Structures are given as structure tokens and as C-alpha cells.
Structure 1
């Protein structure tokens, strides 16, 4: 987007023009009117973005799933193959004997490495999907079309910064809970070891956790717009957290309430999306269970096929519901960012000025043609 003179440090999506608010009847080139938004307009704008750009959203999400899940499966297979010989000594040792320490250590190391690999892969997939939603919303607000390739590149390019902002914001917001655990667990464990654990001591940890929870929620809401800032203003994680804090200041309760409501709506719809797959998967097992041998023999091929089909449906339904929850909540968060910018920084006027200029951009001049013979003016 273009930068207008006198807009301050930020321009376009990162701009801070000092003009007044738009007229009450605001134009709507995209999914929302270009003026400060109400609750219903934020929620309907998220649904409208999904309807208008579902191909780009679903395409990128499916591409992420198609990349991340096979790599996760490969990592699990490699880890299991590497320590397969240690399973028998650990999980089925001779009667009365303890598992060998070297076998236990090998399994623990493999489990730790696998956990880190899966965590990194999952975080990458989550970061791409999180970066995708503001990138799509940027085009949805202005009513401009986009493509899968453009959205994929935009999401992958900003995914590392989004992951950094998510991790840093989560660590800062989680510090009160970590501090409560660091204080409460040693006290409770020490009291239990000293046989002096009364009801007051045992209830200390829940009390500390409840005391830390409001601070964690306060910090989480203050950093809730950081992902949108990373994508739409193209800044780093630390700058995004600071910018989110500045945008949320003075509107904490409103942003917290709308974010909570958006999360509840996303959770309910995600659960309803999973329900049919769970029902179909459960009923698919009934015919297979009827083929279960009564003599205690091994499972039949039909039972194995039914179990695999049921697990696939449950997993697919869970993945679809989870993707919708992530996408909808991130779209609501991004719309809250746009709303705060329009309320405080005149983003609506900057977008209207850009949309007014863009269609009337002067075309590039055509190459000059040689004059026609016998025409002294050179006209064709």
C-alpha cells in the first residue's frame, strides 16, 4: 500500500494519518465498512472473509497439513526404529528385575528429541496458518482478489516472525503462572515430605494459580494483536508486542470480550464440524465389531480396516475443526487490529485514499510510432 505524506512513522497498513473520522455512511469495498466497527461487524467480517477467500485459506491450510503431518510421521518412525531394540527390555523385563538403566536412558533421550522435533514442526505449521489470516484479511478488507500462491508466499515469509512473537508473548504472559508453580510446588512437596501437609498447605498451589491467572489473561490480551502487526506492518516480534500493547491500551476490556466471544464461537463451530466425523467413525466400527472372533483369536481384516477408517475420520474431523478454530480466532484478532487502527489512526481514510488513487493510476506511455510518409504532423 502507498504511503501518504504527513502520515507519521507508519504508512498504509503501517500508517498513522492524522485526518478525521469517516462519514457515518462509510463505503465498503470489501468485507467490512471502512469505519470503526461494532461487535457484529467484526464477527460477520470474519465469516465473510472465510466465504470470500475460502479457497486460499483452505488451500494453504491443507498444504501446511500435507507437509507437516508426513514429516511428523517420518520423525516418529525414525525415532521408533532407532530405539526399537530398547522397548522389550524396558516394557517387558524379566520377572522381578528392573529395566536396565541404559535402555531407559535411550528411550528418554529419543522421547525428548522427538518431542522437540514435533514441537518445532507444529509451531511452524501454526505460525504459517496464523500469518495467513491477516494476509488474507488485508485483501478482503479492500475487496481485492488474491491467489493461493500469493497467500502461501506471504504466510511462509512472515511465519518466522509470527512464531517469534507468539513464543515471546507466550513466555512473558506465562511468567506469572510459572512463578506460581515455582513457589507453590516446592512448598507443597516439602510439606508432604515432612508429613506436615494440612489443608491450607495443599490448597496453596491452586490459590497461587488463581492469583496469577488474571495477570496472565491481562498480558495475553495486550499481546493479542501482535500476529496481525507482524504481518500487516512487517515488523519484528519485539516491535510487534510493543505495537500491540499500544493499540490495546484503553480498550482492553472490549478486545478481551470480543476475543473471548470469537474463541467461544470458533470452538462451538469447530466441535460441530468434528461431530459428524466422530459419529460416522463410530458407526463404521459396528459391522467390523460383529466380525470379532468369539474364540479369542486375532482381529479380522474387516475389524482392522474399520478401525483404521474410524481413526482416519476422527483425525480428519479434529484437524478440520482445529483449523477452523485457529483461522476464525485469528481473523477476529486481525479485524480488532484494523478496528483499533481506524479508531485511533485514521486507517480508513488512508485505505480510501489508496483505493481512490489506484484505479486511476496513469498508464505507462506507449512507444512512439514512426510518422506516416507524407504526413507532416506525424499523425497516424
Structure 2
């Protein structure tokens, strides 16, 4: 599926499609399994928080006329909101990390010319997910630092300026500050973009993966940036095309249902409820299908860029071919070759 030579843009695009086409059942199975676990857990977290602070909603959002909400009602809502945000962030990062660990593992089998199974890839993805999550968290923290710094300075200034002309001037200053910070964020994001593939394919830890990614990208930043941009745009466009028919059908299904709702506030009929559930399920299925493709394709393209950099700089193609040639004689399955610097791939 993957040519063992330095890869051009067409090779990255076609190689990602070929990997999805050859392993789509396994990819879709793992991604859907992750969503089947993550989404209910997120719903449970939000539902538990809402039930816990339900009694504080009315005093805060509908206080008596002319009165401000009391602190004993505001504080629980703020604490619950922060706790929900942190928990949802952690759950989301772990879910994305499993998928980010899955795609390089699939690509490894494609490069080596081996088939794989759902169980093997699920185990490999879950095992490497914590390290991938650490690499993703560190890369977001470091790459987002310029934007975080701008906001950390700008928000207190706006708050202290009040509602006068100074606040208006500061509002106009934010785009200029972001214009200076965003390019640095993009540069850092591309520099650390190969870290998930390094974690999975080399068995590295988060910090080592960031250093290794930085070393592989050094000197080829613009090419990797261009390839990554094309892959992300292509994945987004195709994912939108996948989701669009589901949204259209759901919209046409829900319009007659909305017209059938009684004007007097009576209970909707069984047909209306069925149409609403059908439309919701269509939108949900379309969103899941589009996410499976968008996340999978983007991560596969990133992993292919990692393979390309190792082929260009470390003779990975020759090592794989030699390993494959020796494997039948040795009676063992081929394994990924070691790095030139002595590190071992997993």
C-alpha cells in the first residue's frame, strides 16, 4: 500500500486512502468503539453535574427583579462548570489519543505488508493511549503558549479598563496580538505534529516523542506544513460531503414533524416523536461517519509523513526491505527496524 521510497504529496494522499480502503473495517470499528465509550461517559458527567446543581439554576439565571444572584448559588455553578470542563477535556483527550495511537499502528502493518485484527489494534491503541495523550497535551500546551500568553495579558487589561474608550481600543488590539502569536503557534504545532507516530512506532515517551518529532521536522518544515494543510483540508471537505446527505435527509424528515406539533402546547403525537428520533439518529450517524474519516485520514497522513521523514533521513526503506527478505528464512514475522541512534521501535 505504501511505496518504500521518499513520498511525494500524491503518495501521501493516495497512501492514506489506500490504508483506509484496506483496513476500513478495523479503523471504523475502533473509532466507533471509542465513541461508544466516550460519548455516554461525557453524557453521564454532564447529567450528574446538572442534577447536582439543579436547585441553583433558578436563583442564578432568574433572580428576583432588582436583585443580584447570591454567592451561595453562584459558587456551586462555577465549581460544577469548571469540574465538568476538566473532566470532559480529559475524557476527550483520552478518546482522541486512542484514535491517534490507532492510525500509526494500522499504518505500520500496511507498510510492512501485514494484515491485522480489531483485537490486536484495540490492545495496541489502548496501551499507547496514555503516552499519546501526554504527547498531545504537551504539544498543545507548548504550541498554544503564545496565544495563552496573549489572552492572559489582554483579558485583565480589558477587565480593568471597564466600558470606556480604553476597552474599545483594547478590543481592536486583540487581533493584532493574535496576528503575532498565531504564526508561532502554527510553527510549533507542525514541529511537534509527528509526536503521536513516534510514540506508537518507536515506543517513546511523551517528552522524547516531542524531541524526536522536532528533529525529524527540522529542515523540512515548509514541506510538512504544506502536506499537512492539504491533508487536513481534504479530510475536512470529504467528511463534510459524507455528513451532508444525512443532514439533508434529517432536515426533510424533521420539517413535517415540526408542523405536526400542536399549537396549544399539547403533547406531540407518536408520529412526530418517531420523526424527531429518526432525524436525530440520522444526524448522529452522519456525524460519526464523517468523524471516522476526518480523524482517521488526518492521523494517517501525519503518520505517513513520519515514515517519509525516516525514509529520507534514516534509510528506513532499505531496512524494511532487508527485514522482509530475511523474515521468511528466519521463520519469523518482520519487525520494524531500529532507529540509527540506537532507539528501538515498538
Contact 2:250/2:278 (8 A) holds in 1: yes
Contact 2:260/2:272 (8 A) holds in 1: yes
- Deviation at residue 315 of structure 1 after TM alignment: 2.5
In structure 1, distance between residues paired with 2:171 and 2:331: 74
Contact 2:107/2:303 (8 A) holds in 1: yes
User: Residues 270 and 79 (structure 1 numbering): CA distance in 2 closer, same or farther, change over 3 Å?
Assistant: same
Where does residue 127 of structure 2 map in the other structure?
157
Where does residue 83 of structure 2 map in the other structure?
113
Where does residue 329 of structure 1 map in the other structure?
298
2:195 aligned residue (226, 235, 239) = 226
Instruction: Give the TM-score normalised by the residue count of structure 2.
Output: 0.90
- Deviation at residue 190 of structure 1 after TM alignment: 4.1
Where does residue 125 of structure 1 map in the other structure?
95
In structure 1, distance between residues paired with 2:174 and 2:16: 39
User: Residues 345 and 298 (structure 1 numbering): CA distance in 2 closer, same or farther, change over 3 Å?
Assistant: same
Contact 1:89/1:103 (8 A) holds in 2: yes
Aligned length: 332
- Segments ≥4 residues shifted beyond 6 Å: none
Q: Structure 1: give runs of 5+ residues left out of the alignment.
A: 1-30, 364-380
In structure 2, distance between residues paired with 1:55 and 1:341: 28
1:282 aligned residue (251, 275, 285) = 251
- Deviation at residue 63 of structure 1 after TM alignment: 1.0
Classify the secondary structure of the residue corresponding to 2:46. helix
Where does residue 75 of structure 1 map in the other structure?
45
1:36 aligns with 2:12: no
Structure with greater helix percent:
2
1:204 aligns with 2:173: yes
Spell out the pairing of 1:128-207 with structure 2 (5 A cutoff): 128-192=98-162, 195-196=165-166, 199=169, 201-207=170-176
In structure 1, distance between residues paired with 2:13 and 2:276: 39
- Deviation at residue 81 of structure 1 after TM alignment: 2.1
In structure 2, distance between residues paired with 1:295 and 1:235: 63
Contact 2:19/2:107 (8 A) holds in 1: yes
Classify the secondary structure of the residue corresponding to 2:25. helix
Bigger Rg, which one:
1
Classify the secondary structure of the residue corresponding to 1:33. coil
Instruction: Give the TM-score normalised by the residue count of structure 1.
Output: 0.83
Where does residue 12 of structure 1 map in the other structure?
none
- Deviation at residue 192 of structure 1 after TM alignment: 4.9
Post-superposition CA distance 1:210-248 (Å, at most 9, x none): 011111111111101111001000000110010001100
Q: Structure 2: give runs of 5+ residues left out of the alignment.
A: 333-346
Contact 1:185/1:205 (8 A) holds in 2: no
- Deviation at residue 100 of structure 1 after TM alignment: 3.4
- Deviation at residue 309 of structure 1 after TM alignment: 2.5
In structure 1, distance between residues paired with 2:161 and 2:72: 34
In structure 1, distance between residues paired with 2:300 and 2:53: 43
In structure 2, distance between residues paired with 1:206 and 1:309: 43
